[in-house]
Structure 1
Amino acid sequence: MLDRNFEDIFNTLLSDIIAHVIDLSDPRQMIRQFLNRVDKWHALLEKATANGLTPEEQRGLFGEIFLLRKLITSLPEAEKALLAWVGPEKAPRDFQYGGCALEVKTSHGNNHQRIHVSNERQLDTSTIEQLYIFHLSIESQQSAGESLNDLVDSVSLALQDDFKLTSHFRFKLAQGGYLPAHRELYADKGYIVRAETFYEVKGSFPRIEESDLRPGVGDVRYSIIISDCATYQINELTVYQNLNQVW
């Protein structure tokens, strides 16, 4: 099993390298890109742990990929949706392309009415034109619902006709801590979606922005009672239409 795990990781790494050099004709550029991708994978694998993602990390990644799948199937260009997915890169927001961003908040159990904001920049709109929150409310169950593996496989299936996009998706997964060697760890846990809602962050939306902080204050974490944000709900189709204009 260990050898198979290494084989899966090697195949993913090899596909990523090929996707980044296949269109290059200059041997020097090919060598630079090859070494660049090897360095990136080396850094990723050094950070990976044998225990895989924590339950909280699994839910967070599930929410991001759940929205990615919706964007891939709803927007004209799947590539734009995949390029916009910057959550695995630890960016301030999970999706951003141009002046429009989306932040995914996944809640479960008894925490459906509250979402957590990890820093003061996450819901700050001073540097972007549009910002939306996608709130996904889920229940975790053993051997029921859609697993993280199922979700990953469904996106891979949607991208299967484009080698470069498939390779890019796999690299993003690795950035997010999801490796083929860990699939068995996520096989039995499924998620049932209770609700999914979009909100537009604007005006007096309850949040803390960077400009609200006194000098010397940073790394602010806080929570929002999502039921108090009902007036900021926005239709899903409207979000896609707005994204299509910007992305």
Structure 2
Amino acid sequence: MTPDRLLEIWRQLGEETPSATGMHRLRLDTESPVDIFACIVWSGRRPGLLIEGAGEYRPAGDRIPVCRGVRTLHEVTRAPTPRTILRVLLEDDRLLEIFAVLSADLVEAVIAETTVAAGVRRCLDRLCMWQILFDRIPAEGLSEERQRGLFGELAVMDSLLLKILGSSAAVRSWVGPDPANQDFVHRGTAIEVKTTLAKRHARVMISNEKQLDERPHDALVLAHFRMDESASLGETLTSLVARLRARLAADPVSAREFDDRLTLAGYLDIHAQVYDRNKWLLSSTRFYRVQGDFPRLTEHNLPSGVGDIKYSIIADDLARYEATAEQVAGLLEGVDV
């Protein structure tokens, strides 16, 4: 089930004559043990999903995930036998396309399960993930700055991690979307990725006092990409995503996990037209070993009472800490050279 197909089903249901039940619905999978329908609720013509199954299933603590602009209703009917009903309805029309992605994800998650209990639990688990995402993802897509940041992270995976670690370990090492203090962590080595537009004295922005603190790791590397906007030679974020998906296609588990982490990072395919407006060319790639007197502020050297800081460092002043790609590869492989 694709988001576009769900949008079409909702459109068709919305064009029908309102029914006495207050709802039109269409079953989406005839073989799943869970009854799952696309629906239109006539009060406001709200699109949604209706997920039903025999038995009584409740989320832990009876807590139902609440997503921005989405209404989720859970009930258990008693007659003639217990039956669990979960309704997921869109309330903010501006989020329709993102809601279609959420709904398609829920459908795929539910129909993959073999019992009603597992299907309902899986649906609630995915809603918990989307609860976080709806607060992160703007309806219009990622800002240009966040696009560049994600482009840099994916460039590290494309050019370095997949080659060294293989698909499974490379994808699992991408912890930034969770979020974590660094973008990649593999065994004892962490990599923080920063991008700047190409110019002299590029300022690398550091978000907090933990980002360049190597103490939780055996080694910490700062990867810095200078990027030029280039309509002729550059690459879009969507084309880089497509290349990585192609490289991961032979490993379905890693491919699925990669897509989940893309979503956690705020990337949705429905925004591809927005992202295709920007093309970037990596004009330089530099790696720096963060250790010793590397210029940074951490919890270790902050004055007492100071926290929640943001600061910048000048990339051109880091030459004596520079490491080669081969040295970074060695660190990831457990060899400190």
TM-score (norm 2): 0.65
Residues 207 and 310 in structure 2, CA contact (< 8 A), matched pair in contact too: yes
Q: Which of 7, 18, 21 is 1:3 aligned to?
A: 7
Residues 289 and 323 in structure 2, CA contact (< 8 A), matched pair in contact too: yes
Q: Which of 209, 218, 224 is 1:129 aligned to?
A: 218
- Residue in 2 aligned with 1:108? 197
Give, in angstroms, the shift of residue 34 of structure 1: 4.4
CA distance in 2, matches of 1:99, 1:203: 17
Q: Cα deviations across residues 117-167 of structure 1 (Å, max 9, x unaligned)?
A: 111111111221100011111012346410000100010000011222111
**Pair 63,209 (structure 1): closer, same or farther in 2 beyond 3 Å:** same
Structure 2 SS opposite 1:211: coil
- 1:43 correspondence with 2:132: yes
Q: Cα deviations across residues 165-207 of structure 1 (Å, max 9, x unaligned)?
A: 1111111111111111111101121001100011111111111
Residues 229 and 279 in structure 2, CA contact (< 8 A), matched pair in contact too: yes
Q: Cα deviations across residues 29-84 of structure 1 (Å, max 9, x unaligned)?
A: 67544431232124313542221111111111110111111234321432111111
- Residue in 2 aligned with 1:227? 316
Higher helix share goes to which structure?
Answer: 1
Q: How many residues align?
A: 242
CA distance in 2, matches of 1:13, 1:175: 15
CA distance in 2, matches of 1:230, 1:79: 33
CA distance in 2, matches of 1:124, 1:14: 41
Give, in angstroms, the shift of residue 109 of structure 1: 4.1
- Residue in 2 aligned with 1:138? 227
1:38-117 alignment to 2 at 5 Å?
A: 38-110=127-199, 113-117=202-206
Structure 2 SS opposite 1:245: coil
Moved more, 103-112 or 223-232: 103-112
Gap regions ≥5 residues in structure 2: 9-96
- Residue in 2 aligned with 1:175? 264
Give, in angstroms, the shift of residue 110 of structure 1: 3.1
Higher strand share goes to which structure?
Answer: 2
Superposition RMSD in Å = 2.7
Structure 2 SS opposite 1:3: helix
CA distance in 1, matches of 2:183, 2:255: 19
Q: Cα deviations across residues 197-239 of structure 1 (Å, max 9, x unaligned)?
A: 1111111111112111122100121111112111111110121
**Pair 76,87 (structure 1): closer, same or farther in 2 beyond 3 Å:** closer
Percent identical among aligned pairs is 34
Give, in angstroms, the shift of residue 8 of structure 1: 5.4
Residues 107 and 138 in structure 1, CA contact (< 8 A), matched pair in contact too: yes
Residues 102 and 130 in structure 2, CA contact (< 8 A), matched pair in contact too: no
Gap regions ≥5 residues in structure 1: none
**Pair 165,205 (structure 1): closer, same or farther in 2 beyond 3 Å:** same
**Pair 10,144 (structure 1): closer, same or farther in 2 beyond 3 Å:** farther
TM-score (norm 1): 0.86
**Pair 186,157 (structure 1): closer, same or farther in 2 beyond 3 Å:** same
- Residue in 2 aligned with 1:162? 251
Letter in 2 for 1:172: R
Letter in 2 for 1:95: F
